[in-house]
Amino acid sequence: MWKLSRKDLIMVLGNTLLEDKLDDRDYLVIHPLDDVQEQKVETKHLGPMRMTLAVRLSLLALRGYLVLMMLLVLYHVLDLAGVFGKA
């Protein structure tokens, strides 16, 4: 959600009737889907991002953690389904 000042709102909407109803202290919240679209930034020319060793190790640790959590969820679902038998 964006908070627009009176001046910004008038620039975006261009509505003079709305300008008369707004006070300098009033803000109107506009949902991003209802806002004016922005031009997208082109990133094809940037190429791969350089990462330090610490960043690579952190991302590797995060990947390992996520795989472990998925395996634990899978084990729990299979256990609830009774695949491993009753204890």
Start-to-end Cα distance in the chain:
52
More confident call, 4 vs 31 = 31
pLDDT at 19: 55
- Over 60: is that where the pLDDT of 9 sits? no
Measuring CA to CA, which residue among 1, 32, 30 is closest to residue 13? Answer: 30
Residue type, 71: L
Residue type, 62: L
pLDDT at 18: 55
Q: Is the separation of the CB atoms in 78 and 84 below 8 Å? A: yes
Question: Which H/E stretch holds residue 3?
Answer: strand 2-4
Band of residue 72 on the pLDDT scale cut at 50, 70, 90? very high
**How many residues in the chain?**
87
pLDDT tens for each residue of 16-70: 555 556 666 667 788 888 888 888 888 888 888 899 999 999 999 999 999 999 9
